[in-house]
Structure 1
Amino acid sequence: MTDTPQSWPCAVCDKPSKTRVHDGCREHIKANLLALPGLYRALEEELTPGRRGNSGGRPGTHGAPIPVSLEVLDLRARGGIEGVLGGWARDVCDRENWTVPALGTIEAIIKWGAGLLLANLPMICDEHPAIREIADELRQITGQARRLITGEKPPRHIPVACPCGQVLRITLNTAGERCPGCAAQYGHTEVLRLPMAERRVAA
């Protein structure tokens, strides 16, 4: 008789995994950390509204256009990409009693934060209690930055109904969702199988 390899829900997406965070989720976190410093720099080119010709004012329209894209500015300002990377990097330093370096510029903090999180990703995936939140925030801000650069529309949110009656707004790419009403945790496949909220209400 052979022992069956032990598995438990991944701490990020709830799929069965032999480790706390399975390889797919770990690679997504790594990819986002690698991409964010470059996305921050690329966003500088997107600061002027209407650069792609689909969102700025046209000649002859009334009123002066906003001189910069506020959504891009939010990501490039303190608290945007810097807030996510720098915040979680400082959190890791606090947990490990490491010294946080004095960094002046936003770009320096982004580069440091991404590097520290990448260097310690195995430990973070194995031990950090907020690994799901880290993965979610990195995925969201990376996706937002990419959409602003490429001009893609944000993913469509679909309302689905938990058996407890709570409506969850998900996307087709969601890794999983926790119901705020009953605290039930759904993985990607399970949450997509929930009934549409409108249909449930109409019934």
Structure 2
Amino acid sequence: MHDQPTTESDYEWPACTACTRPLRQDELGRTSCRLCQDRADDALRQLPGPDGLYAQLATRLVPGRGGDSIVVTASRTAPLPLRLEPLNLMARGGVVTILQTWQTDWHEQLGWRHPRWAGGLQQQCDEAVKALRNNLEWAASRHPAFGDFTQEITSLVRQCERQITGERKERPIAVACPCGAVLRITVSTPGKRCGGCNTQYDRTEVLDLPLANRTAGPARMAA
């Protein structure tokens, strides 16, 4: 018995791993589209330097009155109590650790030596961002987890911005998939896969889904 020839309808057009939109003709063979590469680059550029988001976190360590935070200069120790959210982003395990974890992963993918960092956390942040941006074209073209990288870095930038501006965390929205599952998203969600029927929605499609009916009985929840 001979195998049936592959038809055009059997071919699934490659999609960007970050935003799930179909790749353009000149992007075929890449992991992610150039728009998502630019989005990741824009997020990275906001973090380093004396005026970057990471440095600005130090000015938001002390709770202020009326919702504002007291600015603390880097030359003196901030009095207690400190705000834990910006402190956690500044400390080990926060911004710098996330950047360095991705830099290490990329070095391993490329077969390079484990990266080494010098200086304080600000300097290490700047070095990691520079290295990631230098290799961003390769990552967007070849790294299988570039979508995860883009999502994590843009989320990290939003967390820093919220701490600096005092903006509240985005409120989750419950929307209903036609299969009956409920998806929880925010207005910034780049895309979502339904855990009920495995349908992948891009940003526009998931925001177009109807709101879940709160008055109805218990619905199936999708991650």
Count of aligned pairs between the two proteins: 189
Match of 2:106 in 1: 92
* 2:172 aligned with 1:157: yes
When residues 201 and 43 of structure 1 are mapped into structure 2, their CA distance, relative to the original with a 3 A threshold, is: same
* 2:87 aligned with 1:67: no
Of residues 45, 49, 57, the one that matches 2:63 is 49
Give the deviation of 1:173 after TM superposition.
Answer: 2.4
Give the deviation of 1:148 after TM superposition.
Answer: 1.0
Match of 2:16 in 1: 10
1:78 counterpart SS class: coil
* 2:119 aligned with 1:113: no
When residues 106 and 180 of structure 1 are mapped into structure 2, their CA distance, relative to the original with a 3 A threshold, is: farther
Give the deviation of 1:9 after TM superposition.
Answer: 2.1
When residues 129 and 200 of structure 1 are mapped into structure 2, their CA distance, relative to the original with a 3 A threshold, is: farther
Give the deviation of 1:55 after TM superposition.
Answer: 6.5
Task: Give percent identity, aligned residues only.
Answer: 40
Match of 1:77 in 2: 91
Gaps in structure 2 of 5+ consecutive residues: 1-12, 70-78
Distance 2:168 2:187 in 1: 14
Match of 1:36 in 2: 47
Give the deviation of 1:201 after TM superposition.
Answer: 3.2
* 2:203 aligned with 1:188: yes
Give the deviation of 1:162 after TM superposition.
Answer: 2.3
Match of 2:185 in 1: 170
Match of 1:23 in 2: 34
Distance 1:106 1:201 in 2: 50
- Larger CA deviation: 89-98 vs 154-163: 154-163
Q: Which amino acid is 2:66 matched to?
A: G
Structure number with the higher helix fraction is 1
Distance 1:69 1:183 in 2: 40
Deviation track 1:38-93 (CA, whole Å, cap 9, x = no partner) reads 1110110001112x63278xxxxxxxx95111000010011111122111011101
Match of 1:125 in 2: 140
Distance 1:71 1:42 in 2: 13
Structure of larger gyration radius: 2
CA contact (8 A) 1:49 1:66 kept: no
Give the deviation of 1:160 after TM superposition.
Answer: 0.9
Match of 2:9 in 1: none
Distance 2:151 2:61 in 1: 25
Distance 1:82 1:102 in 2: 11
When residues 153 and 22 of structure 1 are mapped into structure 2, their CA distance, relative to the original with a 3 A threshold, is: same
Q: Which amino acid is 2:67 matched to?
A: N
- What is the root-mean-square deviation in Å for CA atoms of aligned residues? 2.4
TM-score of the superposed pair, with normalisation by structure 1: 0.83
TM-score of the superposed pair, with normalisation by structure 2: 0.76
